[in-house]
Amino acid sequence: MSTDAQAIHHESFIVNLGPQHPATHGVLRIKLTMDGEYILDAEPIIGYGHRMHEKMGENRAYAKFLPNTGRMDYVAALFNGHGYVCAVERLAGLTVPERAEYIRVITCELNRVASHLLWLGAFLVDLGGFTPLLYCFDDREKILDLLESVTGARLTFCYFRFGGVCNDIDDTFVNGTRDFVKLLRSRMPLYHDFVSTNIIFRKRCEGIGLLSADTCRRYGATGPVLRGSGVAYDVRKQEPYSIYPKLDFKIPVYPECDCMARYRVRVDEIVESLRIIEQALDQLPAGPVMAPKVPKILKPAKGDCYFNVESARGSFGIRIVSDGSENAYRLKLRSPCFSNMSLFQEASRGMLLADALALLGSLDLVIPDMDR
């Protein structure tokens, strides 16, 4: 025991939340300086899952980096792949057949639904309610089955190729997806009854974890976090890519800035994604799924480009600098979780431990995506 009178007077203490802690969903460590249950300072210490994907991107051919993309944000792995292939296609000037674009959007939106469902379950576990997790997993499992039937993987997808996708979808997938859309739509009222109207859940979310739009902007937080702060910023609308301009969908925005707003944004996004999937399935054209004559070894011309996709967690960006060789000269991966997490230190100051963990859960972090 310390006899330092000064230390006793302050009565603040340091708690290491993590790297192994039930609320951090991975190897994230937060060094909390606490005064009782109030947080004086919360310093995230990240990098436990750092694998230097950017260096790997520099010392292998473009196509060989494709599997890596599925291992960053493994909960919504298709978006990383989508961003990467689109960036390389932009740099190499490849065009993608329309059917392939549709398939990309359908699978990506399925992945978004799966990711949001997982988040919903995990968030409720953070708040101490375990039951919804298993309902979410039950529905998510059906998505993973669908995606497995076409991509061959359940989690770390490597499905997109430069100039298309590697497998065509068949009627089984199309019909299965249609059935799933109907099923999940019929399940949404259940989630609503079970979660949104639950008095304890609302008490724990409403007015908790306020993040102003300006805070989000200065920290670069995007995705549902930013949209839960009342800013209608979505890459799919602001910088339309793929076939999104042809589809009719809304961007859910809630101005309350609290955990409840972020929850509502994500639940509404599930519904919007289902609409996107349905429209895309209706419009699905016939044709090839790979561009003809994509060179085996790509050597894009000198130059650089940036490409952003709207991942389930926010704006996922890739900057590729090419020197004309078969490897990228520089590959920058802009992960949404990294930016979303960086605001935690400021936002959690003065909060109670339990509320800070609600805020942490509402940011929807995937640690390997943050650490890359």
Partner 1 sequence: MYSLGDIVRLLLYLVGLIGFGAFNAAYLSLLERKQSAWMQLRRGPTEVGPWGLIQPVADGLKLLSKQILLPRDVNVPLFLLAPIMVVVPAIVSLVTIPFSETLVAHRYNLGLLMIFSFGAINIFALLIAGWASANKYASIGAVRVVAQNIAYEVPMLLVVIALVMVTSSFDLVEIVKQQGGGCWHWNLLKLGANPMMPASFLIFFICMLAETNRAPFDMVEAESELIAGAFTEYSGMGFGLFFIAEYVNILIGCSLATILFLGGWDCPFGLFPGPHWFLIKMYALCFTVVWVRWSFPRTQFYGLLNLSWKILIPLALVNLLLTAVMLKLVP
Partner 2 sequence: MPDNDWKTRLVACAARDAAQQPLVTETPHATKGSVLEVTVPAADVVAAARILDNAVFLIEAVTGVDWLAEQQMELVYDFVQMQTGERVTLRARVPREKPELPTISAVYPGANWHERETHDFFGIVFSGHPNLTPLLLPEDARFHPLRKDFAP
Q: Which residues bind partner 1 (CB under 8 A)?
A: 13, 15, 21-23, 36-37, 124-131, 133-135, 138, 198, 200-201, 203-204, 352-355, 357
And the tokens for 64? 């060989």
Nearer to partner 1, 35 or 170 (CB): 35
Strands 164-165 and 303-311: unpaired
Instruction: Note the residues at the interface with partner 2 (CB under 8 A).
Output: 46-47, 50, 52, 54-55, 58, 87, 90, 93, 216-222, 226, 231, 233, 235, 237-239, 304-308, 315, 317, 319, 321, 329-330, 332, 334, 338-339, 342-343, 346, 371-372
CB of 371 to partner 2, least distance (A): 6
DSSP string, 308-328: EEEETTEEEEEEEEE-SSSBE
Q: Which residues pair with 43 in a beta bridge?
A: 31
Q: Give the shortest CB-304-to-partner 1 separation in angstroms.
A: 43
Nearer to partner 1, 216 or 358 (CB): 358
Using CB distances below 5 to 8 A depending on partner kind, what does residue 145 bind out of partner 1, partner 2, none?
none
CB of 13 to partner 1, least distance (A): 6
Task: Spell out the alpha helix ranges (H) of 152-212.
Answer: 171-191, 199-205
Query: At its nearest, how many Å lie between partner 2 and the CB of residue 126?
Result: 23
Which is closer to partner 2, CB of 192 or CB of 330?
330
Q: Which is nearer to partner 1, 289 or 351 (CB)?
A: 351
Among residues 211, 208, 219, which one has the least CA distance to residue 338? 219
Dist CA 115 CA 84 (whole Å): 19
In this structure, the number of other CB atoms found within 10 A of the CB of residue 249 comes to 18
- Residue 222: contacted member of partner 1, partner 2, none (CB under 5 to 8 Å, by partner type): partner 2
Query: If contact means CB under 5 to 8 A according to the sort of partner, which of partner 1, partner 2, none does residue 307 touch?
Result: partner 2
Instruction: Pick between residue 22 and residue 245 the one whose CB is nearest to partner 1.
Output: 22
Which of the listed partners (partner 1, partner 2, none) does 13 bind, with a CB threshold of 5 to 8 Å by partner kind? partner 1
| C-beta of 199 vs 286, nearer to partner 1 | 199
Least distance in Å: CB of 103 to partner 2? 22
Structure tokens at 29: 């460590």
Closest C-alpha among 31, 29, 33, 205 to residue 126: 205
List the one residue out of 144, 145, 136 whose CA is nearest residue 117. 136
Q: Which does 218 bind (CB under 5 to 8 A by kind): partner 1, partner 2, none?
A: partner 2
When CB distances are held under 5 to 8 angstroms depending on the partner's kind, the choice from partner 1, partner 2, none that residue 47 binds is partner 2
Closest approach of partner 1 to the CB of residue 20, in Å: 9
134 makes contact, choosing from partner 1, partner 2, none, with CB < 5 to 8 Å by partner type, with: partner 1
**Three-state DSSP class for residue 304:** strand
**Nearest residue to 82 (alpha-carbon basis) of 363, 330, 370, 317:** 317
The strand ranges marked E within the chain are 12-17, 29-35, 38-45, 160-161, 164-165, 303-311, 314-322, 328-334
Count of Cβ atoms closer than 10 Å to residue 36 Cβ: 11
Element (H, E) at 344: helix 344-347
